[in-house]
Amino acid sequence: MPEGKVYMRKSPLLNCRGFSPFSGNNGMCCLVLWLLLCCMGTAGAMTSLVEQPIPLSLDTPYAWSAEEDASEAEPGEDVGEDVGEDVGDDVGDDVGDDVGDDAPDAAEAFTMPDRDLPDPEAVAEDETILWESTGMGTSVERAIHLLMDTPVVWDAPPPREIDAGASSGAGISPVVMGQAHSMDTQARQRAVEAMLDAVARENQPLPDELLWALADSNDSVRNTAAQGIQQLPDNVMTQAALQRLQEYVLSVFVSMEAGLISELDKALPYLRRHLAQPMMNLLQQSGEETVRRRAAAYSLGRMGVEEARELLVRGAWADDAALAWSSAEGLLLLEGRAGLQDWMPMLEHPQEGIRYMAVRALGQIGGPEALQALRSILLGESEFDYNLRSQALQVVAEFPRQDAIPILIAVMEQAPGFRTTAGNYLRHKTQQDIGDSPEDWRAWYYGG
């Protein structure tokens, strides 16, 4: 079979419109004919190889339309059956004898989307280009599959010789880019690895597909992308690359797509090396959009950038309430790296939510001073509202047993409004049910 040509098989029995070999008055005759042919050892004649290669023109994609069959069908006749039974007739005529006349009309009836196709001369020089051409695949192979019940078999492309010292130049292989959009997670992960390799070795710009992988729903794909970008050397992560990475992260936050943000959030800690300074610079730019500065503040906290502590403290007291909230949230995400001197004043912050964050931060910091501050909130030594005191009680219950139990007993004694809640925390903490009397709990704990 000549190279570069696609052949298809058709059955002569299907070469008559509307003819079914096993129905009506033709049934017995066809059955006898079939048996005779089988007995004579000529069953192979039922299938003939139509040596009429379908033109693989890269200028005009092969096309076909079912509109003619639909228009010629009799009322009540199954159009799908008609198309199937007449495949030998229609395809044989259109592809074989009348390809010059019918193909242009069919192309007008069924036009595939425009695609970037390789140069025909390049195809002749490199057969693998023809193999990878998505335009050829959709215009020819797809049409044939619609018409035939016998699959088209493509010969494997010749192995591509790779020069270890060569560069891809214009960009990353379209095959790799196609894998990046696959529904198969392993294919996407392999694509991410290939893109990282191309970026590192050939100094390619960060492709969109690699950035999108940072918010992939699959942990392996997402971690491969994040860790790979984290390890890219400084000579690859140029200013343009850093800006591209930063803009992608900001765009996800600005999109307000909860799913994407949730996945990207898991990748952020890996990006600290490259994004810490750009995000700090952005947070300080008062002329920037608030939503972008908020994303920067949150990202700095999520990445654990301790150098951003002072910036986040200042941001928490900003006149812009939204920016203040995100800055305080970023500061809280530093998980204890900010000190009491940063959080104690925020117990008096105008925003209730930031006051709650300050209470949570005291629990993160821990230690005698933080515990004493929480005790003051609970026992009314300072004027705090009920909700804040309730939050403080929950934080105290999370302290180690020896620190929490004395304060919980004191709350039962001195804060009747929280007696039941404090008693429940004591039961959970001690796995004991002493009752609701603070005296009984004191006697049990102190041995009196």
Summarised one tens digit per residue, pLDDT across range 255-268 is: 989 999 999 999 99
pTM of the model as a whole: 0.61
Q: Fold for domain 185-338?
A: Leucine-rich Repeat Variant (1.25.10)
pLDDT for the residue 443: 92
pLDDT in tens, 13-55: 333 333 344 444 455 555 555 565 555 554 444 444 334 444 4
**331, 314 in Cβ contact below 8 A?**
no
Give the model's confidence band at 383: pLDDT under 50 very low, under 70 low, under 90 confident, else very high.
confident
Average pLDDT over residues 72-77: 45
Residue 424's pLDDT is 94
Least confident of 98-107, 135-144, 280-289: 98-107
Spatial CA neighbour of 440 closest among 428, 425, 415, 423: 423
Phi, psi of 49 (to 5 degrees): -85, 115
In this prediction, residue 159 carries a pLDDT of 33
pLDDT at 381: 65
Question: Hey, which bits of 70-137 come out as E strands?
Answer: none
Residues 224-249, mean pLDDT to the nearest whole number: 93
Domain boundaries, the chain: 8-147, 185-338
Report the C-alpha gap between 84 and 12 in whole angstroms.
Answer: 13
* Beta-bridge partners for 49: 9
Of 362 and 127, more confident: 362
The lowest-confidence range among 99-113, 130-144, 280-294, 299-313 is: 99-113
In terms of C-beta density within 10 A (0-12 exposed, 13-18 middle, 19 or more buried), how is residue 282 classed? buried
The CA-CA-CA angle for residues 139, 147, 151, to 5°, reads 85
For residue 425, give the H/E element and its range: helix 419-430
Mean pLDDT of 388-402: 94
Q: How far apart are CA 296 and CA 279, in angstroms?
A: 5
* pLDDT score for 33: 59
Do 412 and 387 meet the contact criterion of CB atoms below 8 Å apart? Answer: no
Q: At residue 376, does pLDDT exceed 60? A: yes
d(CA 300, CA 327): 9
Q: How far apart are CA 416 and CA 379, in angstroms?
A: 10
The mean per-residue pLDDT over the stretch 325-330 comes to 96
SS3 42: coil
Residues 244 and 211 sit within 8 Å (Cβ to Cβ):
yes
Percentage of the chain modeled with pLDDT above 90: 51
Residue 384's pLDDT band (cuts 50, 70, 90): confident
Q: How far apart are CA 396 and CA 363, in angstroms?
A: 7
- Quote the tokens at residue 93: 């005529």
Can you give the pLDDT at residue 30?
54
pLDDT category at 338 given cuts 50, 70, 90 is confident
Q: Give helix then strand counts, H and E, for the chain.
A: 26, 2
300 confidence band (pLDDT: 50, 70, 90)? very high
Distances in whole angstroms, Cα of residue 427 to Cα of each of 390, 417, 436, 442: 17, 18, 10, 13
The predicted structure's pLDDT at residue 436: 86
Tokens representing 55 are: 């033109």
* 158-182 confidence digits (pLDDT tens): 333 323 233 333 468 888 888 999 9
Lowest mean pLDDT among 180-189, 228-237, 241-250, 373-382: 373-382
Q: What tokens appear for 291 in the block? A: 């939503």
- Cα separation, 310 vs 130, in Å, equals 59
Sign of the alpha-carbon torsion through 366, 368, 369, 374: positive
The pLDDT of residue 280 is 97
**Torsion angle, CA of 133/136/142/148, rounded to 10 degrees?**
-120
What pLDDT is attached to residue 172?
A: 82
The stretch 219-237 carries a mean pLDDT of 94
Q: What is the pLDDT of residue 173?
A: 84
What would the mean pLDDT of 376-393 be, rounded to a whole number?
87
**Which residue has better confidence, 436 or 72?**
436
Judged against a pLDDT cut of 90, whether residue 227 lies above it is answered with yes
Question: Nearest to residue 299, comparing CAs of 268, 274, 258?
Answer: 268
Burial class (CB in 10 A: 0-12, 13-18, 19+), 240: exposed
Phi-psi group of 156: left, alpha or beta (phi > 0 → left; psi -120 to 50 → alpha; rest → beta):
beta
pLDDT value of position 265: 96
- pLDDT, position 339: 86
Q: Name the 3-class secondary structure at 9.
A: strand
What is the pLDDT, as a whole number, of residue 100?
42
Could you tell me which residue, 339 or 410, shows the higher pLDDT?
410
Q: Between helices 438-446 and 401-414, what is the axis angle to 10°?
A: 150
Query: What average pLDDT does the structure give for the chain?
Result: 74
